Chain A
Amino acid sequence: MPQSAESRIRLARRGVRANALAYWLILPAVLAMLLVHYVPMLWGFYISAHDVNLFTMADWMHAPFVGLRNFVDGFSAATTTGARALRAMLNITVYTVVTVGIGYIIGLAVALLLNQQFVGRTFVRGLILLPYITPDSVAYNVWRFIFQSRIGILNRYLVQWGLVTEPPIWLVGPPAFWAVTIAAIWKGWPFTALILLAALQKIPHELYEAARVDGASMWQQFRMVTLPQLKNVSISLILMSGLWSFNSFNSFYIMLGRDPGVAAEVPSTLILREAFTNLKYGLGSALSIVLMLVLLIITIVYLHVTRGAAGAEEV
């Protein structure tokens, strides 16, 4: 379409003005996110390098500079906090691998199941969303009740079936970690199943037909068609739930309280306690920055590995 120079200029000018409007439109959201996410994050770096504690917090911007001392204290096995922090990192890694891994397997199995035809399928599909939409404070309190040693329903069956002679005390010491893990798996798999089911339904039928024509068994169809088709969704799903899991706070805090004990300590509970119970804000900040860096490294490595694998496959 031939355009006069004049109209083109007018259009361009309108474009500029339209762009200015775009900035006005995103401004409030940008401001809110800056003030709640990015500004505090930057101050977090400042706080982590200063001795902000009970005595200095009133005027924390003038707290004494201590360099990397908070980081050293936070992660040297010699200090109580350091030993706990290292244990917390180990715990959260195990927790993440187990909840995400088992959650993925269950989620995939249920997604495959719900992809079949059966009576009441719609109902069951809606039903499995329940754990996902139930508030954390409800779900984990119910599991806390289930795991009660004397009055919990779990121990009733363990005793009744003769699996234990003495009812175990689940929510104290090492078993507490596994109790929380089990509850978190129950809460987490429906989301995985939901996403995988949606992805399963997008796989073209022709792929299965072609595989059948080639004489592929059910198992071969699953390995050669279903799994590769789910690969991309699975990568983002595992990464996302891995990051969420690594940041877990609610499950441990609700089921075990402010101090879950060494065996069930995770970074979020430790940081919360160091900062708001022991009032060592500098130390808490240092720990939370290390947590963020670990997450960042995991994300980068994970994306690199999975992208690399995908690239190799295409070649």
Chain B
Amino acid sequence: MAAMNVAGAAAAETAITTAAAAENAPRVSRQRARAIQKVLMYIAVLLVVATVLAPYAWMVSGSFKETLELQASDVTIAEQAPSWIPRNPTLRNYRDVNRVVPMFRYFRHSIVISVGSMIVSTALALLAAYALSRFRFRGREAYTVSVLATQMLPGILFLIPYYLIFTMITRSTGLPLRDTYWGMIFTYTSFALPFSIVMLRSYLNGIPLEIDEQAMIDGCTRVGALWRVIVPLATPGIAAVAIYSFIMAWNEVLFASVLTGRVTRTVAVGILDFVTATGANWGGMMAACIVISIPVLVLFTAMQRYIVEGLIAGATKG
């Protein structure tokens, strides 16, 4: 308003500047509108940030609360209402993360299974993606479609027959599959394959064919060209796929809830032990949540750009 008054006064002062002032007034109000827009935008941004962060704040806060505080808190009593800031912050939940629930053991199982799936599925996906990217062969289209189709099918559809096949093989050959590392690695490898193949194929498509040809003219075999020339060039894509497989195996719940037992229970399922029908240790649960998120966060941050690119490519081209 003040700015407009100034503009108005200026217009009254001399007739010569009237035209200029008339132009000034709407510009000033446009600036004001823009300023309001800007404020609204920042409010919206803050709202988004708060919505995203609130559950994490609650998780971190819970992980530092004493069991006593958690048990005594009550929303109906003002003085005991659950608070964001722990009354007596404690590290006990972290120290005791392995005390009642064998979290370290679950962690070890998850590491073995995730790293195993990561190595096997990345190797298989690289070979298949290279074939899809570099060769035309009969059945190529059908194969690509079948790869994409498996991503759409519900996991529960495979689980029952898969479990029964496991028990049958074990019965007839004595070979244990359920609750074994390699049974789980094999399972998760296949889960990670479809997306890994699609993602790596689009990455390899970005590497010019001439590079393989040059390597082969220089005396490399096909496989030699793949190993010595393409693999080094495709390292970022390969790393992204590897991390995707690791995270997939680390997070999987449905198959883990049925196929893993004492020997291979993973963190994704094991963490549920903190809150059961017989007792609820929310502080421990939140501490464990933070601990098991760390590998995922570290890996994802390291490879964020490539994974995001791959996801976008998968969603827009898939």
Q: Is B102 an interface residue (CB 8 A)?
A: no
A292 and B153 in contact, given A124-B48, A128-B48 (Cβ under 8 angstroms): yes
User: Which among B41, B56, B258, B312 is the interface contact of A118 at CB below 8 angstroms?
Assistant: B41
Q: A26-B143, A118-B45 are in contact. Are A153 and B312 (CB under 8 A)?
A: no
- For B268-307 the 0/1 string (1 means CB < 8 A from A) is 1101100100000010011001001100110010001000
Contact present for B254 and A249 (CB under 8 Å): yes
Decide if A254 is an interface residue (CB 8 Å cutoff): yes
The residue among B194, B247, B282 with the most chain A CB atoms within 10 A of its own CB is B282
Give the residues from 235 to 254 in chain B that come closer than 8 angstroms, CB to CB, to chain A.
247, 250-251, 253-254
B197 interface residue (CB < 8 Å to A): yes
Interface: B15 (CB within 8 A): no
Residues of B within 8 A of A253 (CB): 253-254, 257
Asked if B130 and A25 sit within 8 Å, CB to CB, the answer is: yes
Indicate whether A86 reaches chain B with its CB closer than 8 angstroms: no
Distance (Å) between the CB of A315 and the closest chain B CB?
25
Q: Would A150 and B160 count as touching, CB distance under 8 A?
A: no
Residue B147, interface by CB 8 Å? yes
Contacts of A38 on B, CB cut-off 8 Å?
146
Q: Which residues of A contact B318 (CB under 8 A)?
A: 236, 240
- Whether B164 contacts A288 by the Cβ 8 Å rule is no
Supposing A41-B161, A155-B75, A292-B153 touch, asked if A137 and B197 sit within 8 A by C-beta, the answer is no
Main secondary structure of the interface of A (DSSP, over half): helix
Count the B residues whose beta carbon is within 8 Å of the partner chain — how many? 97
Taking CB as reference atom, which chain A residue is nearest B121?
Answer: A32
A46, A158, A190, A295: which contacts B154 (Cβ < 8 A)?
A295
CA distance A26 to B73 in the complex (A): 58
Residues 146-187 of B at the A interface (beta carbon under 8 Å): 146-147, 150, 152-165, 167-168, 171, 186-187
Q: Is the CB of B300 within 8 A of A133?
A: yes
Which residues in A have their C-beta under 8 angstroms from that of B81?
Answer: 156, 159-160
Count of chain A to chain B residue pairs whose CB atoms are closer than 8 Å in the complex: 278
Inside 8 A of A57's CB, which chain B residues have their CB? 164, 167
Query: A18 contacts B157, CB within 8 Å?
Result: no
Say yes or no: A142 contacts B254, CB within 8 Å. no
Nearest residue, chain B, Cβ from A43: B161
A142 touches B286 (CB 8 A): yes
A23 x B312 contact (CB < 8 A): no
Q: Does A33 contact B (CB under 8 A)?
A: yes
Query: Can you name the residue of chain A whose Cβ is closest to the Cβ of B222?
Result: A21
Give B283's nearest chain A residue, CB to CB.
A145
Tell whether, in the assembled complex, residue A19 and residue B135 are in contact, meaning their CB atoms are under 8 Å apart: yes
Which of A40, A153, A160, A167 meets B161, CB within 8 Å?
A40
The size class of the interface chain A forms with chain B is 35 or more
Cβ A195 vs Cβ B124 within 8 A = no
Partner of B253, one of A160, A254, A288: A254
Considering only CB atoms, which chain B residue lies closest to A34 in the complex?
B190
Interface residue from B271, B296, B311 paired with A141 (Cβ < 8 Å): B271
Residues in B whose Cβ lies below 8 Å from that of A190: 52
**B74 close to A (CB within 8 Å):** yes
With A26-B132, A116-B41: A137-B285 Cβ-Cβ less than 8 Å: no
Nearest CB of A to B233, in Å: 17
**Alpha-carbon separation in the docked complex, A30 to B62 (Å):** 46
- Residue A276 at the chain B interface, CB threshold 8 Å: yes
Chain A 32-51 interface 0/1 with B at a Cβ cutoff of 8 Å (1 = within): 11011111110110110000
Query: Which residues 50-104 of B have a CB within 8 angstroms of A?
Result: 51-53, 55-56, 58-59, 62, 70-71, 73-76, 81-82, 84
Q: Does A127 contact B (CB under 8 A)?
A: yes
Q: B158 touching A110 by the CB < 8 A rule? A: no
| A residues adjacent to B (C-beta < 8 A) | 18-19, 21-23, 25-26, 28-30, 32-33, 35-41, 43-44, 46-47, 52, 57-58, 60-61, 110, 113, 116, 118, 120, 124, 126-131, 133-139, 141-146, 148-153, 155-156, 158-160, 166-167, 186, 190-191, 194-195, 198-199, 232-233, 236-237, 240, 243, 246-247, 249-250, 253-254, 267-268, 271-272, 275-276, 281, 284-285, 288-289, 291-292, 295, 299
19 pairs, A vs B, C-beta closer than 8 Å: A28-B127, A37-B190, A124-B45, A129-B300, A133-B300, A137-B268, A142-B289, A149-B75, A152-B82, A156-B82, A167-B76, A186-B55, A195-B311, A195-B315, A249-B155, A253-B254, A267-B154, A271-B156, A289-B157
